[in-house]
Amino acid sequence: METAYLKEYLAFSRTLNYAQASVELFVSQPTLRAHIHALEDEVGAPLTVKRGGALELSPTGKLFLKKARAIVKVVDESVEECRAFAAESSSLVVGTLDYPPFEDLLLGTIAAFKEECPGKHIEILFASGTYANVESVQAGKVDLSLFVHLRNRRSVGAVEPLSLPEGIASFYLETGECLFWMNRTCPLFEKERISAADLEGYTLLLGNSRNMVCAGETASDYFAAAGVTVEPDNQPCANYLDLYLSGLGETFGVALAGSRSGLRSSPDIRIFGVEDFSIPCDLHVLCDPQRLDACGSAFLERLKAAALAR
C-alpha cells in the first residue's frame, strides 16, 4: 500500500471534492481518482458513497481514514527517526589484512567513541579481498585500509613518507616486518633454515596493485644486495591468499609478520624469513576524507589519536 496514496486520501477526505483536493495536492483529478480507486481495490470495498449528489465516506471509508492517519503518522515518525539516526551514525568498510594490532585499535576506538559520543553510532564492516592498496580507497571499495609499505634498504631507521594521490590521506600506525611464504610445492619447503642464496632464480609472486609492484622492486633490491636475483611477478588476484595456492615450484611471496588467517596456519603453507636480512615495513592507515560523513570523520580523528597514543 502506497503511503503517498494514503496521504492523498487524508487530503481528499477533508473536502470529499476531487477538484479541490487535486489542486491542494498538485496532481490531476484523473490521477487522484486512480489512486483512491487503487486503495479501494486493496481494501476490497468502496471508501465513498454518493448521497444527494454529494460524496460521503462509506462506513469502511471512515474506518480506513482512522487507520490511514495512524499509518501515515507511524511512517512519518519512522522516517524522521531514521533521518536523525543517519545524521549521527556512519558505516565504515575497513580492509584490515587480518592484522590483530590494527583490529584491536579499531575495536578499542569504537568503545571509546561510544563513551565520548553517546549519541553517535559507528558500524565497522571488515572487507576481505585485495583492499590494502591506494586503488581500493580511491575507488571507494573501502573507507579505511591498512597499508603496508616496505622500507627502502637504504633507509636508516626512519619511517619513509608515502607518495599518495591527491585526496588520499594517511596516518602512521607502526613498523612491522615483511616475511615470506611458500607452499608445499616449493623445493625448499622442508629445509630447516633458508638463506637468500637458496632463493636464487626464484619467482616472487605478488598482487598487481601499484604498492605491490613497488614492494616487488624493494624486495628484489634486498636480495640483489645479498648477491641474489629473484624475479617479481605481479599477478591480478581477487584475494591476497589466492597467491598462496597459485605458487608452484620455485616461487614464493611476501607476508606481513603477525597477520593471521586460516590458510596461513595450514601445514601446507610456510611463513619464513631469510637469514641474510630482514625487511622492515611501515604500516599506515589510508582513507579518502571526502568520502566520510561527519560521524565517520569524528571517528577517524579518534582513531588517529589512539594510534599516536600507542
CATH number for the domain including 254? 3.40.190.170
- The answer to whether residue 310 is domain-embedded is no
Q: Please check whether residues 284 and 182 belong to one and the same domain.
A: yes
Domain end residue (candidates: 68, 87, 106): 87
- The answer to whether residue 54 is domain-embedded is yes
Q: Please check whether residues 223 and 262 belong to one and the same domain.
A: yes
- The answer to whether residue 242 is domain-embedded is yes
Q: Please check whether residues 18 and 144 belong to one and the same domain.
A: no
The confidence score (pLDDT) of residue 87 equals 87
Residue burial 236-274, b: 16+ Cβ < 10 Å; e: rest: ebeebbbbbeebeebbbbbbbeebebebbeeeebbebbb
| CATH code, domain with 34 | 1.10.10.10
Q: Please check whether residues 169 and 113 belong to one and the same domain.
A: yes
Q: Please check whether residues 139 and 75 belong to one and the same domain.
A: no
d(CA 280, CA 162): 15
Domain end residue (candidates: 26, 52, 87): 87
- Kindly list the distances between the CA atom of residue 258 and the CA atoms of 17, 19, 195, 264, in Å, as whole numbers in the listed order: 73, 73, 21, 11
The confidence score (pLDDT) of residue 53 equals 84
Predicted model pTM: 0.79
The confidence score (pLDDT) of residue 188 equals 97
The confidence score (pLDDT) of residue 224 equals 97
Q: Please check whether residues 80 and 220 belong to one and the same domain.
A: no
**Which contacts of 297-305 are long-range, i.e. CB under 8 A and separated by 24 or more positions?**
298/113, 298/117, 298/120, 299/90, 299/92, 299/109, 299/110, 299/113, 299/122, 300/144, 302/109, 302/112, 302/113, 302/116, 303/105, 303/106, 303/109, 303/144, 304/171
Q: Please check whether residues 66 and 135 belong to one and the same domain.
A: no
Domain end residue (candidates: 36, 63, 87): 87
Count CB atoms within 10 A of the CB of residue 107. Answer: 11
Count CB atoms within 10 A of the CB of residue 225. Answer: 13
d(CA 93, CA 284): 16
d(CA 213, CA 17): 72
Number of domains in the chain: 2
- The answer to whether residue 142 is domain-embedded is yes
Q: Please check whether residues 182 and 217 belong to one and the same domain.
A: yes
Q: Please check whether residues 72 and 184 belong to one and the same domain.
A: no
Q: Please check whether residues 63 and 206 belong to one and the same domain.
A: no
Its domain, for residue 48, covers 3-87
pLDDT in tens, the chain (310 residues): 899 999 999 999 999 999 999 999 999 999 999 999 999 999 999 999 999 888 999 999 999 999 999 999 999 999 999 998 888 999 999 998 889 999 999 999 999 999 999 989 999 998 877 888 999 999 999 999 999 999 998 887 788 889 999 999 999 999 999 999 999 999 999 999 999 999 999 999 999 999 999 999 999 999 999 999 999 999 988 888 888 888 899 999 999 999 988 788 899 999 999 999 999 999 999 999 999 999 999 999 999 999 999 8
Q: Please check whether residues 111 and 169 belong to one and the same domain.
A: yes
Q: Please check whether residues 168 and 292 belong to one and the same domain.
A: yes
- The answer to whether residue 121 is domain-embedded is yes
d(CA 46, CA 89): 44
